[in-house]
Amino acid sequence: MMTDNLEPLFKLDKYQREAKHQSVFYQQDILSVNQFTKDDMDYLFHRTDEMLAMCRRWGTADLLKDYTLACVFYEPSTRTSSSFISAMVRLGGKVIPITEGIQYSSVSKGESLIDSMLTLEQYCDVIVLRHPEIGSSATAAKYAKVPIINAGDGAGEHPTQALLDLYTIKSELGTLDGLKVAMIGDLRNGRTVHSLTRLLSQYDVSLRFVSPDTLRLPLDLMNDLIDKGVKVRETNKVADVIENADVLYVTRIQKERFSDLAQYEEVKNYFEITPELMEQAKQKMVVMHPLPRIGEIHYKVDRDPRAAYFRQVQNGLYIRMALLAAVLGQA
């Protein structure tokens, strides 16, 4: 972890920082993992290391004291909304939180997404948006003058979650190359799986997809992986992958994505990671989950040192601090 130059970075005034630290992310929308190269991720992970060190050393900084974030969530969220708000506050910025009652805003009167964004940009420097429709963040970015950060667009993508997931894997295992990563659960609707899979495809990894037949990875994404030469395998049994996996990335079956609840009832308890199952896993590996969990990981597994999902949550704070600072030209 690089800490030698922390103090100069966090104590420069706004205009000095803007002249010295303007990354490729400056004033850029963050909409899809497809916009990130390996070099981009290396840069961002280095900045994330600095944010982690800063939090441990000082707790807060004034890096974004002159900036305001609008946090706009049309769908429920605990971790993503809270970590973005915490990230902005820890960097000295201000927040307009629209996360616990979008129904009480002018959306309830029929206001369009575009008009909401054009209104909010009058008050802030960056907008974090979660919306149930695929492509909604791209639509918002087309019209808004301030940067839009996609915090999840339906079953589409969740780029900042994928970045914190990738950072967690690297932090826990020391590398991203040569790993066997098993994705488990709702792979059809899981935007976290879609985004992380695309990022992992830039590295030398083997991917295992474990799901009920009705919730398999979308065919277009599977074909993209095959075209890139990524080693892939599909199964419907965790037992087929548990012994060799370096990463178990577990996801919940997403009830809200089902139009037929009878289909959900058929698959809702399809998987459970238990202490007994973990006895078959390697000693050096990690279990991850984007959360919330609904029963797919037994609570007793939390005591296993290989259970990394709450460390994963903490990493979300540092990644989002780094990303906000970079987008606003302060990292």
Q: Are 286 and 308 in contact (CB under 8 A)?
A: yes
Q: In sequence order, what are the residues at sequence separation of 6 or more whose Cβ sits closer than 8 angstroms to the Cβ of residue 269?
A: 295
As its CATH architecture, domain 159-313 has 3-Layer(aba) Sandwich (3.40)
Distance CA 20, CA 279 (A): 51
Which is more confident, 13 or 22?
22
Domain residue limits, the chain: 6-157+316-327, 159-313
User: For residue 215, what pLDDT is reported?
Assistant: 86
Query: Is the pLDDT score of 35 beyond 80?
Result: yes
User: For residue 103, what pLDDT is reported?
Assistant: 52
Query: Is the pLDDT score of 295 beyond 70?
Result: yes
User: For residue 211, what pLDDT is reported?
Assistant: 87
Question: Which residues are the active-site residues?
Answer: 79-80, 109, 130, 158
Ordered strands of the 286-288 beta sheet: 231-235, 205-210, 179-184, 247-250, 286-288
Q: Does this chain's domain 6-157+316-327 share its CATH topology with 159-313?
A: yes
Percentage of residues of the chain with pLDDT beyond 70: 85
Burial level of 109, CB count in 10 A (0-12/13-18/19+)? exposed
CATH number for the region 6-157+316-327 comes to 3.40.50.1370
Predicted TM-score (pTM) of this structure? 0.87
Closest to 246 measured CA to CA, from 162, 164, 319, 176? 176
Using H for helix, E for strand and C for coil, what is the string for 44-108?
Answer: HHHHHHHHHHHHHHCCCCCCCCCCEEEEEECCCCCHHHHHHHHHHHHCCCEEEEECCCHHHCHHH
Q: How far is CA 246 from the centre of its chain?
A: 20
Q: Where residue 21 falls among pLDDT bands split at 50, 70, 90? A: very low
How many angstroms separate the first and last alpha carbons of the chain?
Answer: 16
Closest to 273 measured CA to CA, from 249, 244, 246? 249
Decide the pairing of beta strands 148-153 and 126-131. Answer: parallel
